[in-house]
Amino acid sequence: MALDYDYIIIGSGFGGSVSALRLSEKGYKVLVIEKGKWYIAKDFPKTNWQLKKWLWMPFLGFKGIMQLRIFKHISILSGTGVGGGSLVYANTLPIPKTAFYKTGSWANLKDWENTLKPYYKKASKMLGATKNPLLFDADKALKKLAEIQNITDKFEQPNVAVFFGEPDKEVADPYFNGEGPKRTGCNFCGGCMTGCRYNAKNTLDKNYLYFAQKNGAKISSETEVYQVKPIDNATGKTGYTVYTKSSTKLFKTKQVITAKGVIFSAGVLGTLKLLLKQKKKTLPLLSDRLGSDIRTNNETLVSVSSLDKNLDFSKGIAIGSLLHTDANSHLEVCRYSKGSGFWKLLHLPYTTGTNPIIRLFTMLVQIIKSPWHYFKIYWVNSWSKKTVVLLFMQSLDSTLKFKRSYFGWLSSTVNSGKKPSPNIPESKILTKEYAKIVNGKATTFLLEAFAGIPSTAHILGGAVMGENANEGVINKNNEVFGYTNMYVIDGAMISANPGVNPSLSITAIAEHAMDKIPDASLAKLASK
């Protein structure tokens, strides 16, 4: 039987884009399927008030780059579009500490820290990682916090995926000997997380996907996979049938495509939703561990709005500085561009505590004590100009499990350890100190205030590595147990808590997985 493609890749984020380039380099015929839109610089929203261009809610006609999903235990922010999370993420490319490689279900499969070193280097080069050169008001306040905490040596300007060059000046490709697209120098507008409108952010369509297309890979946007079925109705040795439909049109155009192999790279939510559905139908051999060991980096997201008229927090890149507050934790300051004040509609005065009545009472007390301050935050000041989001992360471990409900939705339960919580003592102390430095008031996402449900932009796991199907969903080379030429290569494969922004780690592990697949010519010889 003649197949349409050698590999179909579901999703175009950090795992999918790496897979597309490396497989096309090896001579394979590749199709990338992405449910989101294909955006170019001028298409991105000017501010996050342009909800149709910023949020992904296709049932409302919103075809933007960011998706918000709310579960019982966690609220999740994720990216959508050609380039996946790279369109909306904050550019930071850290390498995790040693504990990441020595914990979780993958710990004994390899010496991961040394194995992945060359792949981290390769990924950093492809993504154009470079140190942020400038500090602005929000970063300087974090540096002041480091001085107060007496940990100035733990303050750093992170490596980021941004072309700095000369602000607003377009130049020939600076990364790939002139073979890549033209680029424009960053103007530090702070708009990284609403989509870079100035061609300075090193999104995946400017590196991995760009060259994958040059090699002949095809990209189908606004298309969603709803079923994957082995052609032989067994382990997929003869290939797979992939069923797709339009993700944005009212009348769903459907298509049936075949391929030798399938790579799931739709992000944790997309990959798990599809795999859990298929386990009950067409892929029954999937491990019973599917959906387990989901991690959140134990994050808190707290906003601090300054009342100082001389401070402008919108200037800079999305994350221009970070502070390692102890061996297990670090704090980053995140910003949005001037005018992007949508989040204030979903924020309430910051309060903590396990009892919702106590939290609400504390909120009311804060408003009564400082009515003018909160009036200015919500109605007078430019929210994004005066507000910084403090992203606190820990490498301490706890896990969730996602299941498929009766209606086909994902639902969360606690897998191990304590359930995720916004009430982290270290985060509370740091928030209070930062607010003092900038003469500010803290606010937080309303679900944290009302329901005690924390938020994360770094959902990980659910299809983790293991020695066998009793311990994981995939092996050390990302191959799915029970099936031939089937892989999971995205955040779902992350098998321990990195405690830092995971994009570089996903890219490096994807590079490692692709390195294990032989060239197409060798694969054909081996099959004869």
Strands 30-33 vs 5-10: parallel, antiparallel or unpaired: parallel
Q: How far apart are CA 47 and CA 67, in angstroms?
A: 16
Q: How far apart are CA 178 and CA 181, in angstroms?
A: 8
Mark 206-242 as b/e (b = at least 16 C-beta within 10 Å): bbbbbbbbebebebbbbbbbebbbbbeeeebeebbbb
| 324 carries an active-site annotation | no
DSSP-assigned beta bridge partners for residue 303: 389, 443
Helix (H) or strand (E) holding 325: strand 319-326
C-beta atoms surrounding 57 within 10 Å: 13
User: Do 399 and 386 touch, CB atoms closer than 8 A?
Assistant: no
Tokens of 217: 């890979």
Mark 438-463 as b/e (b = at least 16 C-beta within 10 Å): bebbbbbbebbbeebbbbbbbbbbbb
- Kindly name the residue from 330, 347, 373, 458 that is annotated as catalytic: 458
Percent helix / strand / coil, the chain, rounded to 5: 30, 25, 45
Q: How far apart are CA 385 and CA 314, in angstroms?
A: 5
Note the Cα 372 to chain centre separation in Å. 37
Residues belonging to the active site = 458
